[in-house]
Every structure is written in structure tokens, then in C-alpha cells.
Amino acid sequence: MEIKRVAAYGAIYLPWGGAYLAVRVLVHVLPPFLAAGIRYTLAAIFLVPIILMRGSPAPGWRQMLNAFWTGVTMLGVGYGVVFWAEKRLPSWVVAVLMSTTFLWTYMGECLLLRSHRLKGKMLAALLMGLVGMPWLVGSDLRADRISIFAVLAVLLGAFCWSAGSLAVKRLDLPRSYLQTTALQLASSGLVLLCFSGGLGEWTRLPAMAQIFAWKPIMALTYLIFAASVLGMGAFHWLMAHEPASLVATSAYVNPMVAMVLGIVAAKELCSLPQLAGACAVLASIVAIWYFQTPASQVEMSSLSAVTDL
């Protein structure tokens, strides 16, 4: 169980952190909502033969409906705005704004689900991570590069992702995590494709040579297999075995992964304030893990009978 747990956290920490760079590459070629819809739809199609080979029982109508609307909330709205915002904001800024999902998720667990008590030391750790985020962004946080409307849209997306995550903890969903993942990907993909068509994005496609260039193809492949299939599958496994706020630590790790990839892959500069911010965020994650570990162990033991991924 411990090896699977570490691997599952790695699957949401690393691929989701790298997704911000991949999204930035993709939306420079394809319209944002069309790119998001293609990503999710193709990922769902890829999962269909795997689900059929596993022979899992078909989900009920209520389970399918719950998977549909949580998928649209989390992926269609919650992450769909990331594609749109990365046309208007630096990818690091988007990652930082999405890190507020951690705060919303923890507050929801304490005030709505009441699965945890609101603790001062946890709030202190959360705030330490939030304080470190602007330093982590560093020189990218400049007034001439910031769209207030885009900032508000990403914050709304972060709230929607948190709301969907909390709902997943309580709703009746398919027992197979692959089925849940596929249904959520399919529903969000179809909604985004329809929304893209309504906006007229399909009529603003670039030349085929640009679409099938190696950079957008590699970015789309990464988003489909690493960030969607692997990442979402690991996310649902963790949500059945871990507190939602602990799973949401990925929102704090992702900006640091984006920073490292920006330095290595995009040749972006790293300043001392950014390193200081990274240290603050890392310290926040370590503190939250330390405070949440007892609750995590209790929840894991109570859910040990849940079907494995």
C-alpha cells in the first residue's frame, strides 16, 4: 500500500506540474477551449478498451450522472479556464493562482464535510505556502503582464476544482476509478468542444503544418497520457484513501515543478527571491504532511476495503 501511495502522489505532483508548460505550448497553436476539449476527449477514448478488458461492472445511472457533473465542474470549468488563461497570463502565475485549491479544499473539509477540525497550525502552514507563492513567481508578476479578468477566472476555476473534489468524497461514483476517470474526461471534453464550437474557435484553426508540428503533438500527448489518464486515475485512487486536503498538496507542488521545467526546458531565469519562495512552499508542504499524517492513516484503515485501482 505504501509504495502505491507514494507512486500515486508522484503521479499527481509531477505530471500535473509539467502540464502548465505543455498547456502553454499547445494554446500557442490551437484555440484554448478546443485544445482542452480534444485533450479530454482523446484521453477518455484511450481508456475505453482498458475498461472493457478489465470487465468491471457497468455503473448505475446515478453514478454516471455524478461522474458527469463532477467532471464538468472540475475539468471543464476548473481546469478549462487554465487553457484560456495561459493565453493571457504567464504559466507560473496560473499555477500559483490554482494553488488556492489547497486552501478552499481544507476549509471545505473543516466547515462543510467536518472531517477535520480547523487547526491554527494547519492554517499557519497554509498561509506560509501562500506567502511563498508570489516570491516563487518572482519577476513574472508584473502589472503589465497581468489581466485582472484572467486572474479572477483562474481563481473561480480553482474554487470549482475544490468543490468538485469535495463532492467526490461524498457522492456515489463508479467503484472502478478508471470508469470514473473516463466518464469525467468524456463529459468535460464534450462540453468544452461544444463551447468551443459556440465561440467559433473551430473556424480559427491555423495551418495543418502548425497543428502537426512536433511541439504541439508532444504537448498534447503528454497532456493526454501523463496529466489526464495517469494523473486523474491516481487522483481518484488517492481521494478514496486520503484526506482531500492532503491530495490537494499537489496544488502547492505544481508551481515548483513548473518553475524547474521553465528553467530547464524554456531557459527561464531563476532569482534568489524565487528560490526563497520555493523553500517557503516546500516547508509548508512538509508541515502539512506532518500535521495530516495521523488523519491520513486513520482514513486509510477505514477505507481499506474499497476496490483498488
pLDDT in tens, 59-74: 999 999 999 999 999 9
With contact defined as beta carbons under 8 Å apart, do 66 and 173 qualify? yes
Residues 162, 128: Cα–Cα separation, whole Å: 20
pLDDT reading at 300 higher than 70: no
Buried b vs exposed e over 17-26: b needs ≥16 C-beta within 10 Å?
A: bbbbbbbbbb
Tell me which residue has cell 521545467: 261
For the chain, the domains span 2-302
Q: What is the reported pTM?
A: 0.81
> What pLDDT, on the 0 to 100 scale, is given for residue 241?
86
Residues 127, 143: Cα–Cα separation, whole Å: 23
DSSP symbols for 256-291: HHHHHHHHHTS-----HHHHHHHHHHHHHHHHHHHH
The whole-number average pLDDT for the span 304-308 is 30
> What pLDDT, on the 0 to 100 scale, is given for residue 138?
58
Residues 22, 163: Cα–Cα separation, whole Å: 25
Residues 88, 84: Cα–Cα separation, whole Å: 7
Q: What is the dihedral of CA 24, 41, 45, 239, to 10 degrees?
A: 80
44-58 residue pLDDT tens: 999 999 999 988 889
> What pLDDT, on the 0 to 100 scale, is given for residue 267?
60
Q: Rounded to 5, what percent of the chain is helix, strand, coil? A: 80, 0, 20
With contact defined as beta carbons under 8 Å apart, do 130 and 99 qualify? yes
Averaged confidence pLDDT in the chain: 82
The whole-number average pLDDT for the span 154-178 is 91
